[in-house]
Structure 1
């Protein structure tokens, strides 16, 4: 058999193409650009949001979660300075909205492959989607809590007449924490405060707040205070958590809340024993209750003292009359003898 005949049975293998790194990267970049020639809308949860860098750019990830263990899909997002300023101007009409970790958003941007990864170059965000989703979730949670009778569970507990041992759940060192401690200290009353440090915003805030409540649940307290300073409505989303609301409803002592500004209302406000407008107002409520208890005690002691003095005077008068009568009888008896 000739060599040509042998080759027909064993054809030569065609070598597989081998790309250079730059060549393959360029091909992927072109493929992504061809697949997404225009900007797209994408929704997901913000994670790893950092402040603008020295160049004015902001970077974060957009995640999709199917469990609490972590994101099941993640996409990098770049918000460059020019677009960031444009987005900030647009959001000025939505004072209740700010980008924050843990927030679900719908944003628009250009899909690109760069530095070996696919990312979105953001150009706009839809606040209506986020705020509408937050409102819908809040209504769902409130309906579920109401159906189980949990909205009034904590309010049925009896608050101590003079609540002096207080558990405080907030971020240690925050303005809210400082306001509460300063108000209690300025009262001059013997408040004992147990501080449970917790994150109050962003990824991990819900779990942190739940741990703080569990830690205080094992202590002998008169009341627990949950406070957080003001911010955008989206900053307070953690306090609309169903798990957090259930934890507050299950506490064995009254829970007072002071979350956000005077106009803010969160789900945990609805399940709390008392919902105050601000952290300072929360502390002031406790101070006023102790002051009222002290005032009532002083009035009661004054009444006891007055009644005691009256009884003493009457007893002295009675004793005087009886002593006089005894003296008269004794004198008569001696004269007759």
Structure 2
């Protein structure tokens, strides 16, 4: 014993001795716990911790092993792992080197999600009968999201491409963190009070279950269900699902998908109008041809049945003329209606309004939102003025506001 006590070990030697002892004592173990601090490095290796209410332990799963798992775990997942217990010598940390990983649940957050989902489903918040129809041709579209969200740029780009004639109203709010649910609820109430949009896009980019947790809030679910304005949810990626998705009137797989579902394509509408015009013209000509054929048959029957064919022939000619005039009047009326509808559609083009001498003032600070109130103008912010022939970026040197 005295010889051992006189031996002085380096830290590395001591750690290696501990590692060897652990490997001999624990050949292979199965451990269950909740994943936290999950990180997947470019090397393909996974690093995370397993924890429960009594403790936690570091874990590593190398690329050759995690390729067989079949899914990428996330923080909050409840899993079971088969691993060897050892010690990472450079840091002196006890860790599990995982050979096998299988799903045992989804942790506390997912359990809370499932419980709330089941309760709200029982209350009827997900029923198809209560969902409102999304307008096919909205007069204006509202967007509820963060001004800093990447999803906002994608949505605005999609709407500008598909339906540049539809005005957009943005209701900015936090979409992540403990303050996000109340902010989204306030934005919904603001949109309902203003009643300036026909449909609302509730959007946010993808993330973990923790990142998207604001959209699993119970009060937000009730606010969505009670909204008088139809709501399209586009939260996360296609594989992400939240309580907001189930309550919303329509769920889109992505924020861009929400914009596509809410806005009709302008070029497609014009194509449909042209197709209707062609179909109407064809039906008119077909009807005229059928009636002309019927008239010929009547004329033939009359020529054989009546004693005074000359007089009846004159009457037939008279009827033919009247029928032709009636059809010409009807066709002319249809043509005028068609031109009127085309003019109305053209009048809806915002460019025509600008060409009449009007201009639109956009606030660059609020994401190019149209200025509606003189009080929104100031001398320290940049503004964008859109005219018929271009765009000007301005700063006001002096302002004098008055109500109309």
TM-score by length of 2: 0.48
Which residue number in structure 2 is paired with residue 102 of structure 1?
Answer: 76
Deviations 1:185-206 (A, max 9, x none): 231221122344535xxxx6xx
Which residue number in structure 1 is paired with residue 66 of structure 2?
Answer: 87
Deviations 1:45-71 (A, max 9, x none): 232x23315x5543222233x6xxxxx
Once the two structures are TM-superposed, the CA of residue 138 in structure 1 deviates from its matched residue by: 6.2
Higher mean C-alpha deviation, range 282-291 or range 104-113: 282-291
Once the two structures are TM-superposed, the CA of residue 87 in structure 1 deviates from its matched residue by: 1.7
Please give the alpha-carbon distance, in whole angstroms, between the structure 2 residues aligned to 1:75 and 1:263: 30
Once the two structures are TM-superposed, the CA of residue 21 in structure 1 deviates from its matched residue by: 7.8
- State which of 171, 184, 187 in structure 1 corresponds to 2:159: 184
Going from structure 1 to structure 2, the CA distance change for 1:172 and 1:138 (only over 3 Å counts) comes to: same
Which structure carries more relative contact order (alpha carbon 8 Å, separation 6+)?
Answer: 1
Deviations 1:150-188 (A, max 9, x none): 3359956797894635233379453x4433121222312
Once the two structures are TM-superposed, the CA of residue 219 in structure 1 deviates from its matched residue by: 3.1
Once the two structures are TM-superposed, the CA of residue 124 in structure 1 deviates from its matched residue by: 2.2
SS at 1:184 equivalent: helix
Higher mean C-alpha deviation, range 255-264 or range 133-142: 133-142
Residue 60, structure 1, aligned to residue 48, structure 2: yes
1:235-274 matched pairs, under 5 angstroms: 243-244=216-217, 246-251=219-224, 253=227, 254-259=230-235, 266-274=242-250
1:1-337 matched pairs, under 5 angstroms: 22=11, 25=15, 28-29=18-19, 32-47=22-37, 49-52=38-41, 56-64=44-52, 73-79=55-61, 83-88=62-67, 90-91=68-69, 94=70, 97-114=71-88, 115-127=91-103, 129-130=104-105, 140-152=115-127, 155=130, 162=138, 164=140, 166-169=142-145, 172-174=148-150, 176-186=151-161, 187-188=163-164, 189-196=166-173, 198-199=175-176, 207=178, 210=181, 213-214=184-185, 216-217=187-188, 219-220=190-191, 222=197, 224-227=200-203, 243-244=216-217, 246-251=219-224, 253=227, 254-259=230-235, 266-288=242-264
Going from structure 1 to structure 2, the CA distance change for 1:167 and 1:113 (only over 3 Å counts) comes to: same
Once the two structures are TM-superposed, the CA of residue 279 in structure 1 deviates from its matched residue by: 2.6
Once the two structures are TM-superposed, the CA of residue 289 in structure 1 deviates from its matched residue by: 11
Unaligned runs of 5+ in 2: 274-336, 342-404
Once the two structures are TM-superposed, the CA of residue 24 in structure 1 deviates from its matched residue by: 6.6
TM-score by length of 1: 0.55
Deviations 1:196-226 (A, max 9, x none): 4535xxxx6xx47536524534633545433
- Given that 1:183 and 1:283 are in contact with CA atoms closer than 8 Å, whether structure 2 keeps it comes out as yes
- Given that 1:42 and 1:108 are in contact with CA atoms closer than 8 Å, whether structure 2 keeps it comes out as no
Going from structure 1 to structure 2, the CA distance change for 1:198 and 1:123 (only over 3 Å counts) comes to: farther
Unaligned runs of 5+ in 1: 1-16, 67-71, 304-337
SS at 1:185 equivalent: helix
Please give the alpha-carbon distance, in whole angstroms, between the structure 2 residues aligned to 1:84 and 1:171: 38
Please give the alpha-carbon distance, in whole angstroms, between the structure 1 residues aligned to 2:96 and 2:146: 35
Please give the alpha-carbon distance, in whole angstroms, between the structure 2 residues aligned to 1:78 and 1:284: 42
Going from structure 1 to structure 2, the CA distance change for 1:209 and 1:108 (only over 3 Å counts) comes to: farther
- Given that 1:171 and 1:177 are in contact with CA atoms closer than 8 Å, whether structure 2 keeps it comes out as yes
Going from structure 1 to structure 2, the CA distance change for 1:263 and 1:120 (only over 3 Å counts) comes to: closer
Please give the alpha-carbon distance, in whole angstroms, between the structure 2 residues aligned to 1:277 and 1:56: 28
- Given that 2:237 and 2:254 are in contact with CA atoms closer than 8 Å, whether structure 1 keeps it comes out as yes
